[in-house]
Amino acid sequence: MSGRKAALRAAFLIPVTVALTACSVVPAGQVPANTALNDAATPPAIARPPAPAVRLTVPTPPARPETFVLDGELEQGGWLRGQAPGGAISVRLDGQDVILDEEGRFFAAFDRDSERTAMLVATLAGGRTIERSLTIAPRDWDIERVNIARRAGRASESFLRMRRPELAQIVAARAVDAPSDGWRQDFVWPVTGRISGRFGSQRIYRGEPGSYHSGIDIATGESGTPFVAPADGIVTLATDEPFSLEGYLLIIDHGMGLNSAFLHMSDIAVRHGDRVKQGQYVGTIGSSGRATGPHLHWSLKWRDARLDPLLFTGPMP
C-alpha cells in the first residue's frame, strides 16, 4: 500500500534574528572633556553593528510527477489509487471523470465484468494530455452450472410499490461524494467469521446466467455479533425499518465515490450523517430482510462498479 505524504505547512516560516543591544554605561571618571554631567548637549553617537538581513524561508511544495504514479489491485473487482501528473486539471478512466484532490491524488476501480484493458488520461492546463494504458487481470469466478431452467418470476405490483422508494434511497445514498479520506486507508475486516458467500459467484441455468453475488457474506453463527467500520467514512443511509430484501441496511461513504453497504443487520448503532472512524462499532449482525440465517453481507461500489472486498482487506485473519 502507498505511504502517506507529509502535509504542506499552513503558513510561511519567517526566521528573523533579533539583536539585543545592552545599555551603554560610561565608567566613572571617564566623562568626556568639556562636557558636564548635566550638559544638555547631544552625547557622542555610539557605533552599532549593521542589522542582519532578514531572510524569508518559503516552503517548497512537493514535486509532482511527470506521469501517473499508481498503486492497487489491477484485476476485475479491484481498485486503483493514483497520483496524477503535475499540472493535470482532470483525469478520466475510460471516459469517466475521476475526482482529484488538492494534491492530485485519486481513486478508481474496476467492475467485476470490466474489460481486460483500461485507459487513464490526464489533461494538463495547456491542453496537452498524458495517457497510461492499464492491463486488468481476469478472474476465475466461482460459476455453478445447473441443468434446470431459470425461474422466470415477475414481481407483483404491490411489491414494486414498496420496492421503488427503497431503491431510490439506495441510489441517492450511493451518489453522495462525502468529504472523507477513508478511501486512502488500508481496509480492515468489519468482523471475522466463515465466508459463506464470495463476491462474483454465479449460477448458469441451462446457459442462461443468473445474477452474480455482489459482495461477500460473513457468518458468525449467531445474531447480535457486533461489527465495525472497515475504514473512515460518513453514513449516507441507516434505515429505521428493514428493507424488503436488504433488511436493516447501512451505507458508509469513504469518499471519492467509494462506499460500503452492510445488509441483514439486527441493529444499527449509527445514524445518517454520522462521521465514523475505522474500527468503530457501527451495528450488529442479523438475518433481517431476505436471508436464510444470521450473517453480514458486505458490498463495495465505486460509482457503478461492484468491487471485491477481499481485494481491499486481504485474507481473513
| ∠ CA 111-93-167, rounded to 5° | 45
58 assigned to some structural domain = no
Domain end marker among 114, 135, 156: 135
Q: Are residues 192 and 209 in the same domain?
A: yes
Query: Which tens digits make up the pLDDT trace of 131-155?
Result: 999 999 999 999 999 988 887 667 7
pLDDT at 242: 97
CA-CA-CA-CA dihedral for 253, 306, 77, 97, to nearest 10? -70
Inter-CA distances, 7 with 55, 253, 286, Å: 23, 23, 42
In the listed set 91, 118, 135, which residue is the last one of a domain according to the structure? 135
**1 located within any domain:** no
Residue 146 grid cell:
445447473
Residue 23 in any domain: the answer is no
The answer to whether 137 and 73 are in contact (CB under 8 A) is: no
Say whether both 272 and 174 belong to one domain.
Answer: yes
Residues 126 and 197 placed together within one structural domain of the fold = no
pLDDT value of residue 232? 98
**Is 225 found in the same domain as 260?**
yes
Do residue 229 and residue 202 come from a single domain?
yes
Across residues 290-300, what is the average pLDDT?
95
How many domains, the chain? Answer: 2
Domain extent, residue 175, equals 143-313
Q: What is the pLDDT of residues 233-272, one digit of tens each?
A: 999 999 999 999 999 999 999 999 999 999 999 999 999 9
Q: Are residues 86 and 201 in the same domain?
A: no
Sequence-distant (6+) residues with CB within 8 A of 262 are 190, 227, 249, 250, 251, 252, 282, 283, 296, 297, 298
CA dist 276 and 254 (Å) reads 10
Residue type, 114: S
Residues 109 and 175 in one domain: no
Do both 156 and 128 map to the same domain? no
Residues 92 and 160 in one domain: no
Are 175 and 103 found together in one domain?
A: no
Query: Amino acid identity, residue 119?
Result: M
CATH, residue 75? 2.60.40
Quote the distance between the C-alpha of residue 272 and its chain's center.
Answer: 18
What are φ and ψ of residue 108, in 5° steps? -150, 170
CB 229 within 8 A of CB 276: yes
Note the pLDDT tens digit of each residue in 157-196: 888 999 999 999 999 999 998 999 999 999 999 999 999 9
Q: Which CATH number characterizes residue 299's domain?
A: 2.70.70.10
Contact 202, 143 (CB under 8 A): yes
Residue showing cell 459463506: 196
Reading the block at residue 288, the C-alpha cell is: 433481517
**Is residue 1 classed as helix, strand or coil in its secondary structure?**
coil
Q: Are residues 90 and 181 in the same domain?
A: no
| pLDDT at 112 > cutoff 80 | yes
Q: Are strands 143-146 and 202-205 parallel, antiparallel or unpaired?
A: parallel
Shared domain for 253 and 175, answered yes or no, is yes
For residue 187, being part of any structural domain is answered with yes
Last residue of a domain, one of 135, 159, 181: 135
49 inside domain: no
